[in-house]
Amino acid sequence: MSITVVGSIAYDAVKTPFGERERMLGGAAVHFALAASLFEQVHVVGPVGDDFGEGELDLLRGRGVDVSDVERVAGGKTFFWRGEYGWDLNSRETLDTQLGVFEGFQPKLSAGSRASDVLFLANIQPDLQREVRAQLPGARFTALDSMNLWIEDARDSLVQAICSVDCVILNDAELRQLTGKPNLVSAAREVLSWTSSPPSSGENHSSEDAPTPGSARGPSVIVAKQGEYGAALITRERFFSLPAFPLESVVDPTGAGDTFAGGFVGYIAAHLGEGDRELSDELLRAAMAHGTALASFNVEEFGTERVLRLTGEEIAARVRELRTITSFSGATLLPRN
């Protein structure tokens, strides 16, 4: 079941304690597409400038990614992001963001991109996410990512975008910021209570603002990304969590979240395409494992370098290891009185 992704296609300048790159291929849509294309055909939607190399597009094509909706804007400059990490690779500083061709971008999807049954709205201006969502009204599974910038500057539009998708994938801090709730599980359950008529904006983000749950469609799956601590999955009925895969060497976390999303959504798309009718708990948990495994490869080298060389056997081996390190047995020991 093919996947359409809209989001940034970028050049990134990144510095970590382990090295730096001045201009490497990046962008949320690129990281997502390289991961998801390991499982399914991906259509990428987004603008680039004259400065974007044909070689970079070839890297995507080489993975079977359809780039016909990558719009080259004459005279424009490709989105550019510069970030720096300290020893704590969980937090980074954004030093520069140049929107370039994203300013004034109007997403126009081809018939191929509109025909996808699975849609991922990577982190971009929420109005654009909603425009793209409206162009795939019949999609069977839709997911969205966002960031603190849009929670602060475009909350109303973001909440409407959230209410139009099945799955929200956010950092834990972003979920807290979005809902004003310090507890992660309560924050996720708050978003799960949102429906197509979203709560109004304002300082008070309490659940009293939210419309009656279940009265219309809204998100039914929340994934809280927790950086080096892993990711949690929260649905109305259940909770599941996986640690990040334990690595001795992490070089560059840029794109880990989007790579996770690519593995998670890609796995779901492949299974829905094989006849799975619903998002069972089993399917969602296995998707979490595949997202976690893919993200762990992404951080081993700079940018897209490691994921570009990744093989199916390497992924399968890491998912098996993840299963081993997270399972336990033994009877529950009753405490002595």
Element holding 60 (H helix, E strand): helix 54-62
Q: Which amino acid is at 300?
A: E
Nearer CB in complex with ligand AMP: 47/199: 47
Binders in 16-35 for ligand AMP, by CB under 6 A: 26-28
Q: Which of 16, 78, 123, 226 binds ligand AMP (CB under 6 A)?
A: 123
Residue 258 touches ligand AMP, criterion: CB under 6 A:
yes
Kindly indicate which of the ranges 6-14, 40-48, 70-78, 194-202 contains the residues binding ligand AMP, using the contact rule CB under 6 A.
Answer: 6-14
**Positive/negative CA dihedral, 259, 265, 271, 273:** negative
Rounded Cα gap, residues 7 and 52, in angstroms: 15
Residue 252 touches ligand AMP, criterion: CB under 6 A:
no
Rounded Cα gap, residues 73 and 50, in angstroms: 7
Closest separation between CB of residue 143 and ligand AMP, Å?
Answer: 14
Sheet (strand 79-85) strand order:
19-26, 10-16, 79-85, 92-98
| 163 closest CA partner among 136, 129, 186 | 129
| Cβ atoms of residues 79 and 70 within 8 Å | no
Nearer CB in complex with ligand AMP: 104/137: 104
Residue 168 touches ligand AMP, criterion: CB under 6 A:
no
Rounded Cα gap, residues 74 and 69, in angstroms: 15
What tokens appear for 143 in the block?
């997911």
Closest separation between CB of residue 153 and ligand AMP, Å?
Answer: 11
Residue 256 touches ligand AMP, criterion: CB under 6 A:
yes
Kindly indicate which of the ranges 52-60, 112-120, 126-134, 256-264 contains the residues binding ligand AMP, using the contact rule CB under 6 A.
Answer: 256-264
Instruction: List contacts with ligand AMP (CB under 6 A).
Output: 8, 10, 12, 26-28, 81, 97, 123-124, 149, 254-258
